Structure 1
Amino acid sequence: MKATLRAANHTGFTLVELVITISLMGVVSVLVSTMVGNQMLGYVDTARRSDLVARADMALQMIARDVRSAVPYSVRVSGAALEWVPVLEWGRYRKRPDAGAADPVLAEAAVLDFSNPDTLFEVLHTGTMPSLPSNPRLVVGNSPAMGLDGLNVYGGLSSGGIVPIGTHVITPTGITLGSSGNSISMNPGFQFALGSAAGRFYLVNHAASYICSGGSITRYGNYNIQNAQPASAPPSSTSVLLIDGVTSCQFGYTAIDATYGMLTITLQVTESGESVTLSRVITIENRS
């Protein structure tokens, strides 16, 4: 008798099916890894851009804070350099004698005299003035837009003409606070070139700058007030790095009217091929 052979049931993979499966898995793996990789790169790029924006915005905020505390009309720009004279303290001087004073002579002496060199004036404010900063200088009536000698805090003494000869809007050092805290003495005596409509004076001692150079913006301070605006690190100045990775920066200043000025700043920061550009317009109140 012939034996009958029954076909066996095959339940596994054939070689062809195995090859096809492995190939499909490879294709899927490549697609998945590409999608995930692109998403991760996108996330990293977005995070980097966000960090650049945050850094640039913080730098612009710090510049805005500084220039808003500047002596009126002292902000000046030159390309990638910004300079101002920081106000350390301010107050109001007596413009007219106190009509109710018991001693008219003393009342007259308390007024800040603009017709002759003066040595003392009364400070008008509530309470007593805090201690003076080191080597303080007084500024009254800074008005560089008039274009006259003696009216620019960065310039020299008046050479005469409309503005009395030898006068200026900023004193040398030699400023002291009276023992009662409500008067200021000037030794030697000093004649200011111009009064302040609001009767304000400002205490200063140095100039300050933000200078964009070498891929960074650096704040320079504690250097002498001078006629020429510095384009690089001023002699004997202190320095603090504001922001690095800077590929472009530009400062601009426009006088809106007699009271307000507009400072514009454009800043580009770059890192690992990613760049962001921020612009800021800062309104500066000039009330001397």
Structure 2
Amino acid sequence: MVKMLTEGNPKVAIIGPSKSESVAMAGQIAPVFHTVHVNQADNLLNPLRIKMMKHYGWSRVATLAYQDEYNVPQFNVRIIMGAFHADTALPVFCEAYKQGMYGPSYVWILSGTTLHPGWIEATEDCTLEQMQTALYGHFALHNLDVGYSNETTILGKSAAEEMASLRVLDSSTPYVQSRYTPYVVDTAWALALGLNNSLKYLDEKGLSLSRYKYSEDFNQAIVNGIKETSFVGVSELHHGPIKKANDPHVIQKITPDRSGKEIRQYKNIKC
């Protein structure tokens, strides 16, 4: 990333990456160059987490996030919210199994947006059956990736129509869509509209995007411009860079066993 930022013309902004570990690194590098870093944040699920706490009357929960090393401490709580990817979740739940942190006395709430289908498998230290036991009955929280309404987006189509158009374009390329595609589309629009909005702030300082360079003045003008954006996007999260309070989510209660997994899904939950 440093090489990309230092070679060639100055980079106005960075979009992504999607993995939390890489995001953390990008978030540390971008400010050094006074360049804008735009990314889809997992904390957009926080309103749903809070709503669950209020609904069940939980006053105390623990949060567990992956950094450089994983650990499952014996919290003095029974409700644990985890924010990590599947490759990290596996050793975490293996350790949870060993410490007996599972069953009806514990509630595990995961970020389903970071877990791929079929991610539950055996590890070096735990069998598949042990992993399924530890994960039995956990909750997975999701954002609805694509807008479910027929509202016209900034692209002049409904979200479903736009995604169908993109699939047609993809069919002539070696690339395929992922669940991040709606977010990428909307993030690009948020940045483009933000750059347009930034022109007035740049003009106040006698600056122009055509003469862009790494500086705090350019950075602040672009950030201010992005904060002003508001639009109906393809994803339900990007009506603007700041999530609307009533964006819908999905809660899944997952009970995996030897025969697969039973999923109880609750859609379109407003927060």
Structure-1-length-normalised TM-score: 0.19
Higher helix fraction (1 or 2): 2
Structure-2-length-normalised TM-score: 0.20
Larger Rg computed on CA atoms: 1
